[in-house]
Amino acid sequence: MSLTVIFQKELFSVVGISLGSVLEFFSTMRNRPASDAVALLSINWFILGTLSSRTLPVIAHMLAPSAIRIAVQLVFKDIFFPVSLLASDLGIPGIYLVHDFITVEEEKRFLAEVDNRQWRSLSKRRVQHYGYEFLYETRNIDSKHFLGELPSFVSNILQKILSFPGLGRDQNKEMDQLTVNEYPCGVGLSPHIDTHSAFDELIFSLSTAGPCIMEFRRYPEGTWCHPTASVNEIHEDTPLLSSYITRKAIFLPPRSMILMSGEGHYAWHHYIPHCKVDRVGEKAIGRSSRRVSFTFRKVRKGPCCCPYKQYCDSQLECRNQQVKQNIVQSSLPLKREAFCPTDTDQI
């Protein structure tokens, strides 16, 4: 028996013994510091690594590109994240931004109007709903429960958005739902896509009182799929997935109006980071004591038929119903692909 083989046998028994002791250690451990366990595991992995030294370079070669991408993403994502000032620089189809959409006087008046009305407190921000109530549990509206016309103080806005850039002739521009959000300094909004089945294509959001950054995230085809009813909710991304997400951001100054439509509404998650200072190029721009946004939308009457099926709860519902029907008719086994779009039908 060669010296190397004897040496490797010895090492295996050492690994076996120390792995046993790790297991024992974990079974007895209650309040010991986790660093002890990590140190012990590291030694084991080091020994295992030595044993498999021939295959290590191959594995390293395979994993290195992803590992480097993840590391760069994790370390530099907040430092080198570009923030556009103009929608044309953002480069997301369907996103338009108009600065100074309202005057300083109009802004004061809108704030006074909403401050004179009843706010509803959520855990971190306050809201008001007009036209239809937005239900946070289902991320949808109760379309049978009409609250009344939008308040008269927004009627000139409703008029002005009719000639907003980017609008097609056959798009319905008659907004009938308004959500007013008041974010205290440092509070943002989780990444989400406004529910396709709840609202028509156009979403207008007016910023007042303070600025913020709005980030947009696009998931690569096939990586993001949530096969339950709340398809638009985003969950914690793994570092690997997060390194493949396309992220873009735009600065929203007070009195600016953003339009999210088409791909920008249906396929990109929008998100307001939770922070007190926004980095825009070289500048650090502090958030004001609050930001109040006025989001105008049109309640959808039928199902959404957008080409972005991966994010569309209407089409997910249809697919689910179709599958259920198929099962009844042909007793076919339920396939996961039926709920979760395959690569070919994602756009």
> Binds 243, which of ligand AKG, Fe ion, none (CB < 5 to 8 A, cut-off by type)?
none
Sign of the alpha-carbon torsion through 321, 322, 325, 330:
negative
Residues 179-208 vs ligand AKG: string with x where CB under 6 A? Answer: x-x-------x----x----------x---
Between 179 and 261, whose beta carbon lies closer to ligand AKG? 179
Between 84 and 295, whose beta carbon lies closer to ligand AKG? 295
* Measured distance CA(215)–CA(274) in Å, rounded: 11
- Residue 232, exposed/middle/buried by CB under 10 A (0-12, 13-18, 19+)? buried
Between 194 and 278, whose beta carbon lies closer to Fe ion? 194
By CB under 6 A, the residues from 267 to 306 that bind ligand AKG are 270, 293, 295
Closest approach of Cβ 189 to Fe ion, in Å?
Answer: 7
* Measured distance CA(247)–CA(270) in Å, rounded: 10
Between 189 and 267, whose beta carbon lies closer to ligand AKG? 189
Q: Which three-class secondary structure state does DSSP give residue 193?
A: coil
> Binds 315, which of Fe ion, ligand AKG, none (CB < 5 to 8 A, cut-off by type)?
none
Closest approach of Cβ 152 to ligand AKG, in Å?
Answer: 22
Q: Could you list the residues that contact Fe ion (CB under 5 A)?
A: 194
Strand segments, DSSP code E, in 231-305 are 246-252, 257-260, 269-272, 277-280, 283-286, 290-299
* Measured distance CA(171)–CA(140) in Å, rounded: 21
Sequence-distant (6+) residues with CB within 8 A of 230 are 138, 139, 313
Closest approach of Cβ 204 to ligand AKG, in Å?
Answer: 9
Residue at shortest CB range from ligand AKG:
293
* Measured distance CA(82)–CA(85) in Å, rounded: 10
Our finding on whether 265 is near ligand AKG (CB under 6 A) is no
- Which residue type occupies 301? K
> Binds 181, which of Fe ion, ligand AKG, none (CB < 5 to 8 A, cut-off by type)?
ligand AKG
- CA angle (302, 233, 292) in 5-degree steps: 85
> Binds 256, which of ligand AKG, Fe ion, none (CB < 5 to 8 A, cut-off by type)?
none
Residues 204-233 vs ligand AKG: string with x where CB under 6 A? Answer: -x----------------------------
Closest approach of Cβ 106 to ligand AKG, in Å?
Answer: 17
Closest approach of Cβ 105 to ligand AKG, in Å?
Answer: 21
Sign of the alpha-carbon torsion through 230, 234, 239, 244:
positive
Residues in contact with ligand AKG by CB under 6 A are 179, 181, 189, 194, 205, 270, 293, 295
